[in-house]
Structure 1
């Protein structure tokens, strides 16, 4: 394929996202599981949460920081999360060159079906894959994404063709350089899938009291093995992960629902409002009230949390 046709393909990707992304920040598409990102300004590193997804950037750049790892996703590299993860994200964008990106939800059921059809041996080595990675964007993946965006211009096309093209995009990622992480999360008895099960529990029951022994038991692991594997996937300990999810949820309640810090802290499982305020400031760098004011001033782009259950 010639360089001219590659440029045309990349330009078409940008044009379609620009047309379909309806507003600043996150916007939904007419197809469940597909969202758009748009931002016309630089956003400094802030803590966010992404649900399992594939993020393909047509223009601009985002940089994710998790532990000592850096993940760049831009027109040359896409991002994949096989499990829900909180991390720190920086957005490089401007009015002249806004960030334009599309996110496709990763569904474990679809992964399992694809691996069965591929007759793939999902038995994994003893190494536990990370839950996040960025890897070079391929021509096949760009082509599939452009076709997905083309069909999203029509309700009937998106309903009939969209799910199959989403499936193709996930298939392309599975076959890619870092597809092993998606394979592992779909393998029922892999360590990554066991950790993923615990992560889903944390996300649905974060306001409840949890202890490491119970979470390790849910993963069918000893406490020491669970702690080691959990940190390999998420780069943080289970208690740090739970704390970050509670703090993120509280921040969303304050920014989007207008709750006070005291009310939000109780809803996410804190018994002490003063402890909540101390941990919130340590995590986000601002008091709860100051953080809510800052994010409202920054606008929707500051809450770039990609999720299949809302922002």
Structure 2
């Protein structure tokens, strides 16, 4: 039986600390791997998190999905099996002991291939269905991440060795107690796989109006079944998911692209500026104009 890894992750701390000096984020040359550093707790932040495995070397963080709050630290990993609009907050960080984290994007197609190659069984169950979970870090998982990050010191090895180590990490995740949630997503033909395809469509076409019945039919599901499984996995309806994607993208446009309120609302698919402003304030707690004033100070 795999031992739970609790405690000594000094190597992971050292490596992330080394590569994030002077920066809050480092997109590594390893596909899908990003390192993070924060030297103080953060405010609540709305973002869209791709299907990812999140590991913390030092510090503590919480992720909010709907009414559910997930807290994790250096002894726990968090993964999202699907792309989700979430709210995040780093709750433990300081200049002396900064928050140090790593996010590895999950590839459902590699996961599906791995399930076939390793003959990993998938069982249809009525257990936990949400597309996000927190689990205990094992020594094997921690060591695999250390080996992956050490490749940054030998860039010539990355293209050959990183896919092998990432595959090992995915395997460890699939075989963890939380792995059933991933298997349901990765198993081709399974309901979870269809919801993933629907989410991919919504992320690409979030600015367009859509008919839930037609989208369900395209995914080969009845409307009622589609609604139920979508809500089980994301804790929101398809229309709520689209709205959160729209509002999160609108805030990004306002905060980082110097877009005006009217242009941002139209770009994300709103026809009514007043409706956009009303829903924006309800979701973020501040109006679009207040956000713009804040960043212009």
TM-score tier after normalising by the smaller chain length: over 0.9
For 1:6 and 1:126, locate their aligned partners in 2 and report how far apart those are by CA, in whole Å. 30
Farther off after superposition, 229-238 or 120-129: 120-129
3-state SS of the aligned residue for 1:177? coil
8 A contact 2:56–2:100 mirrored in 1: yes
Partner in structure 2 of residue 182 of structure 1: 182
Partner in structure 2 of residue 300 of structure 1: none
Calculate the aligned-residue CA RMSD, in Å: 1.9
- The runs of 5 or more residues in structure 1 that have no matched partner are 298-311
Q: CA separation of 1:195/1:156 partners in 2, compared to 1, >3 Å: closer, same or farther?
A: same
Q: CA separation of 1:282/1:68 partners in 2, compared to 1, >3 Å: closer, same or farther?
A: closer
8 A contact 1:14–1:100 mirrored in 2: yes
Cα deviation, residue 67, structure 1: 2.6
For 2:292 and 2:227, locate their aligned partners in 1 and report how far apart those are by CA, in whole Å. 33
1:133 and 2:133 matched: yes
Cα deviation, residue 69, structure 1: 2.2
For 2:77 and 2:295, locate their aligned partners in 1 and report how far apart those are by CA, in whole Å. 26
For 1:257 and 1:90, locate their aligned partners in 2 and report how far apart those are by CA, in whole Å. 23
8 A contact 2:36–2:101 mirrored in 1: yes
For 2:141 and 2:193, locate their aligned partners in 1 and report how far apart those are by CA, in whole Å. 25
Q: CA separation of 1:77/1:252 partners in 2, compared to 1, >3 Å: closer, same or farther?
A: same
CA displacement, residues 106-139 of structure 1 (integer Å, 9 cap, x when unaligned): 0012101110111123342355721101111111
Query: Which structure carries more relative contact order (alpha carbon 8 Å, separation 6+)?
Result: 1
Partner in structure 1 of residue 25 of structure 2: 26
TM-score by length of 2: 0.93
Superposed counterparts of 1:109-188, under 5 Å? 109-127=109-127, 129-188=129-188
8 A contact 1:49–1:85 mirrored in 2: yes
Partner in structure 2 of residue 96 of structure 1: 96
Cα deviation, residue 159, structure 1: 2.1
CA displacement, residues 235-255 of structure 1 (integer Å, 9 cap, x when unaligned): 111111100000111111112
Farther off after superposition, 114-123 or 202-211: 114-123
For 1:203 and 1:258, locate their aligned partners in 2 and report how far apart those are by CA, in whole Å. 22
1:85 and 2:103 matched: no
8 A contact 1:255–1:296 mirrored in 2: no
> What is the aligned residue count?
292
CA displacement, residues 178-199 of structure 1 (integer Å, 9 cap, x when unaligned): 0111111111121111111111
8 A contact 1:251–1:292 mirrored in 2: no
CA displacement, residues 199-238 of structure 1 (integer Å, 9 cap, x when unaligned): 1101011111112112211222222211111110001111
Partner in structure 1 of residue 195 of structure 2: 195
Superposed counterparts of 1:264-279, under 5 Å? 264-279=264-279
3-state SS of the aligned residue for 1:103? strand
